[in-house]
A = this chain, B = another copy of it.
């Protein structure tokens, strides 16, 4: 016999898991409360006991995704390995969910406002992930920052395209070219 708290967290977790899954599979507009509830195995009324509005549910999912992605950034990789890891992170379902929400925020002022804290968390994550690409002990210059902003933005843009038009044959070659492109900047003092 579970406690009330256990019941509560179990259903909210199920709802957030379902929200992520539906966002990933069907996109923002088709992520209806009914679809989420069906997937979570919760009745439609049950959702609104834990989240006052649909938007609150989506923002909670965004916060959870951003915080989860903050963790597990491995260190000590060389440049190419680091890029590979970064690309995988950026193409992960979690990042698709994230883009789905950020994209919707462009034309939804209230969503954009509620998403702002999670957006800051996301930026912290990308900076941390990117920091692991430079050998430890070396100082960071303005040039490095800019080069790495380019890398991250490129990979993020590439991921968006890859989800509509995948091109696995060229993936590895492009990544090597990217590494060659930024290596001089990263390894200079």
Contact = CB atoms under 8 A, between A and B. Distances in A.
Interface of A: 25-30, 102-108, 112, 119, 143, 146-147, 149-150, 153-158, 160-161, 163-165, 170, 173-174, 177-178, 181-182, 185
In the A-B complex, the 8 residue pairs with the smallest Cβ-Cβ separation, listed nearest first, are A157-B157, A27-B107, A29-B29, A154-B154, A146-B177, A153-B157, A153-B158, A156-B157
B154 A174 contact: no
A170 B153 CA distance: 14
B107 A25 contact: yes
Contacts of A108: 27
Contacts of A161: 153, 156
B147 A177 contact: yes
Q: Quick one: which of A27, A112, A119, A157 has the most chain B CB within 10 A?
A: A157
B153 A112 contact: no
8 contacts: A25-B107, A27-B108, A103-B103, A105-B164, A112-B164, A147-B177, A150-B178, A150-B181
Given A26-B107, A107-B30, A182-B181, A174 B160 contact: no
A164 B106 contact: yes
Contact of A150 (B27, B105, B174): B174
Contacts of A181: 147, 150, 181-182, 185
A103 B99 CA distance: 10
Given A27-B107, A119-B165, A156-B161, 10 more contacts: A26-B107, A143-B177, A150-B154, A150-B177, A153-B157, A153-B161, A156-B157, A157-B157, A157-B158, A181-B182
